[in-house]
Every structure is written in C-alpha cells, then in structure tokens.
Structure 1
Amino acid sequence: MLPKDRRSKILKLLEEQTVSGIRELFGVFNVSIPTLYKDLEILEREKKISRSYGAIQLIREDKFRHSFFSRLKMEKDKKRHIARSAVSFIQSGDTIFLDSSTTTFYLCDELKKSSIQSLTIITNSLFIPQEFIMHANYRIIQTGGMLDRDIGCFHSQDIESYLSRIHGNKFFFSAQAVSTEKGILDSYQPEEIKIKQLFLANADESIALLDSTKFNKTGTINWLAIEDLKMIITDKELDSAVQKYMREKGVRLFT
C-alpha cells in the first residue's frame, strides 16, 4: 500500500470509529513503527488529526456543523424509534437529566407530542432548551458555562457543586460507542464526560439510548462499565449475540 493510500485508510478508520489509538493502528497495518509514526506526523501537520497520550482524534473542517447537525441526520430512523420507546419511561412530574446527544434531541421531539403535562429537564445541551420555549409547564434548567461548539453543549468548572444539590428521577444519555469489553466510550472532551458522570450519580435510574450501529465500536474515554449499565433502549437490528451478552450481564434491553 502506498503511503498516501495508507494515510487515507487511517482517516477512514477514524471516521468510522473503528480505531481510536496508535496501538490499534499497529494491528491494522503491516508496517514498521517508525513508518506509522511518520504517517501520523504528516496527518497532524496537515491538521487532519490530533494526538494526545496515545489517542488519535479526527479534526473536522467544520466541527460544529458536522458534530451536531450532520449527526442528527445519521441513523435518524433508528434514533426516532429509540426516542418513541424512551418517552414511555417518563411520567408527568419527573425530573430528568438529558445529555447533549442527538438521540436525546429526538427524545425531546417525542416529549412535545406526548401527553406528559409537567416535567423538569436538566441539560447541558445548547439546543434542547430551545425545543421547549412554548411549553410553559416544562421547567428547563440549563447547566450553563462555556460553550463547546464541537458538540453543542456547555461546560463549567463549578458544575460539580451545583449539580450535587439536584436530584433527578432518570438520566437519558447516548454515547459514541459501546464495547462488550470496555463498556460505554466517548471521544468528547473530559469536561463533557464529567457532566455525564454527575448526571448519572444524581439520578435514580439511568437509561442508555444506543442505536445498533454504536455497538462493537471504540472511543477514547471509557466512562461507564457494562456491569454498571442498567438499561439500554436500542433498535431491532442489534446483533442477537450482543443482546444475549448484555442480558447475561444483567442489562435490561428494550428494542
């Protein structure tokens, strides 16, 4: 394989989230370590990737548009199916945490069409509060902080002390990847992962909204083990072997 073709292949693997680290790339290409490092250095100089402590991340020309609005179009039928199922687990009077994922954004669309009269929603999403401007019976709490344009959410150094005083009935979240070995993984900034973990700690119940394309993928940060995952709502295309594995681990699975 020519060096140019190999570098194109590296970018494709990162785009598909098949790999996320240097060690994984060594298992894909039959080249020497210096050769692979030279490829990565070239891609980094071209501002196509970034590297940190062995992790590799794709740099997109327009992160804001691609990361949210393009992802909103990806697997949208699966996400809508998951959102319709998820809304049945919400009752009037609930206080729910929502992360900034596109799947929870579709959940908001289903909430607007539901018969749920009163609800408190706590989120760090930029977009979710805008969905409920006309719903006076819904209390919307946005965590605030610094805007992360990459994924359309807010971060704050003081969020831990603030969220420690707030209790929620349920936390709905998604993720970039699910590995049967490593659990729930994301490639977002550590600040975004921290907020997810705080939402998780302060909710009575956590519900993962994960379409079938996210399973057996990888990410940079492992923030939730399979053993700590209580419930997943997914779609009917999830591999039967993965379903069996999850249920054996005690995960409640809804398709």
Structure 2
Amino acid sequence: MLTMERQQQILQFVRRNKVVKLVTLTQQFNVSMETIRRDVQQLVQNNKLEKVYGGVKYIEPVEGFIDQRFHEQLDEKIAIAKKCASFVQNGDCIFIDSGTTTYQMTPFLKDKEKLTVVTNSLPIAFDLIGSPIEVIIIGGKVRHSEKSVTSNEFLFRFEHLNITKAFICASGVSVNKGISDFSLEEAITRRQIIDIAETVFVAADSSKFLKDVAIQVCPIHDIDVIVTDDALSEELCQQFATTTINLSLVKK
C-alpha cells in the first residue's frame, strides 16, 4: 500500500472512531509503530489529526477561505477536474460550481465548441473571459470568502436554464448523508442546480469522504457520478458500489 493511501485510510479510521491509540493503528494496518508514527506526524502537520496521550484524535473540519484552499491537494484537484472536463461535449450547457476543484476545469474546456458555462464562481467567469465559451453568471449576493454568488428563486429564475451537466463541489460526501456543505446559501444554490440538471457530477477529492458537515445539499441518490482520486479506500468503494452512483477514480 502506498504511503498516501495508507494515511488516507488512517484518517478515515480515526474519523469513524474519534480517538484511537497508536498501537491499535499498527494492528489495523499491519505496519510497525515507527511507520505509524511517521504517518501520524504527517497527518498532524496537515492539521488532520491531533495528538493525545497514547494516540490521536480526529479534527473536525471547518471551512477556510477559498484562497487558502487553492493549493491544498492541488495534484488531485487537477486530475479530478481534467476527468470532469472529459465528460463535456461540444454544444453542452454546463454548470460549474464555485470551488477549488471545479475551478481547475477551465483550462481543459477552452477547446470545446459552442459551449455555454453557467457558474456562480467569479474566478471561473474571469478565467473564461476572452475564450470562445459563452458565460452566464447567476444573479445574487456575492459571498466574499468564496468569491462566489449565492442565489435563490427570488433573485434568479433557475428554471429557464437548460443544463445538460452540472459539476458540483462538496465539503462532505457520505453514503448515508449524501453531499453536504458548510454554507446554507451555497447549499440552496447547489440544490436548485441539481434539481434542473440532466446529469449531476460531484467533484471531490478523497479527503472529503466520510464527512457530514453542517448542511445537507442532497441525498446520495440525487447524484449520478462522483469523480475523486484513487486514494479512496477499497472499503468506501464497496459502500458506493451498493448505490446507483457511478464512482470515477482518477490518478493524480
């Protein structure tokens, strides 16, 4: 097992159990205490785990500013975004959500013909200025921390959009609770897009799985495809195999 994959599985194991002793991790993953200490140290440095006496504790995530997240797990995000862009065909009208993963889609779309991009992301809209792509930005309130626009039916008539494919971001992904986010306003906007899109894709790296954050966007059965990186554990892949979701794993 690769180091990165093992560390991701350690993180998922600790999240499920809240507090775990190091000796338990050595037994669970059949590696030496020295290896576990190195893995744990890396996860602690990345602010994923907190050391406690004799073990580690999971750190519940909080949403940071979008500028702080652009460089986190960048290789994974680019690989996921490239895969998402491969689903886009000439003539599509697509929605690209505000987020650091979907933002990486723009370089892979500029050779598409007769493409319309609907977005609530100011950085995505700015990136596509000067390209042949038609850009529609939804109307509403600017959310400064995310450089996004949040809206509702009072401010924007979503039903007039004919979206063939929607690419949605998520702060949390789980089989039981579906897709979740920290912001109620973002969740409302995503929910409205999901309701009208023909096909819904979720673009989320493996660190977002097994997390149920503040606000549910939608249950898992409302999603058609989840694109993520191949650090996702086999156990989680098996969980999603019991659903109607098409799970697409990519290498960074």
TM-score by length of 2: 0.71
d(CA) in 1 for partners of 2:96, 2:214? 22
Contact 1:184 1:224 survives alignment (8 Å)? yes
- With over 3 angstroms needed to count, the CA separation of the structure-2 counterparts of 1:157 and 1:163, relative to structure 1, is closer
d(CA) in 1 for partners of 2:202, 2:152? 25
Moved over 6 A (4+): none
Secondary structure at the residue paired with 2:179? Answer: strand
Contact 2:152 2:188 survives alignment (8 Å)? no
Matched residue, 2:112: 116
Q: Deviations over 1:111-159 (max 9, x none)?
A: 23xx312210111111111011111x21100112221112111123545
Match of 1:69 among 67, 89, 97: 67
Secondary structure at the residue paired with 1:86? Answer: helix
Secondary structure at the residue paired with 1:106? Answer: helix
Matched residue, 1:191: 185
Contact 2:140 2:156 survives alignment (8 Å)? no
Q: What are structure 1's unaligned runs of at least 5 residues?
A: 1-17, 20-26, 29-55, 60-65
Contact 1:96 1:170 survives alignment (8 Å)? yes
d(CA) in 1 for partners of 2:196, 2:107? 24
Among the aligned pairs, what percent are the same residue? 29
2:171 is equivalent to residue 173 of structure 1:
no
Matched residue, 2:230: 236
**CA RMSD in angstroms, aligned pairs only:** 2.4
- With over 3 angstroms needed to count, the CA separation of the structure-2 counterparts of 1:57 and 1:254, relative to structure 1, is closer
d(CA) in 1 for partners of 2:151, 2:222? 26
- With over 3 angstroms needed to count, the CA separation of the structure-2 counterparts of 1:252 and 1:205, relative to structure 1, is same
Matched residue, 2:81: 83
d(CA) in 2 for partners of 1:58, 1:164? 32
- In structure 1, what residue type is equivalent to 2:106? C
d(CA) in 2 for partners of 1:155, 1:234? 25
2:150 is equivalent to residue 127 of structure 1:
no
2:252 is equivalent to residue 254 of structure 1:
no
Matched residue, 2:27: none
Q: What are structure 2's unaligned runs of at least 5 residues?
A: 1-13, 20-59
Contact 1:143 1:159 survives alignment (8 Å)? no
Secondary structure at the residue paired with 2:102? Answer: helix
Q: CA deviation at 1:161?
A: 5.1
Contact 1:160 1:198 survives alignment (8 Å)? no
- With over 3 angstroms needed to count, the CA separation of the structure-2 counterparts of 1:200 and 1:179, relative to structure 1, is same
d(CA) in 1 for partners of 2:156, 2:143? 20
d(CA) in 2 for partners of 1:72, 1:123? 18
Q: Deviations over 1:153-187 (max 9, x none)?
A: 11235456511111110000110011232111110
Contact 1:159 1:195 survives alignment (8 Å)? no
Q: CA deviation at 1:195?
A: 0.9
What aligned pairs does 1:1-255 form with structure 2 within 5 A after superposition?
66-112=64-110, 115-135=111-131, 137-158=132-153, 162-188=157-183, 190-255=184-249
Q: CA deviation at 1:93?
A: 0.6
d(CA) in 2 for partners of 1:160, 1:144? 6
d(CA) in 1 for partners of 2:88, 2:61? 36
Secondary structure at the residue paired with 1:164? Answer: helix
Matched residue, 2:40: none
Secondary structure at the residue paired with 1:168? Answer: coil
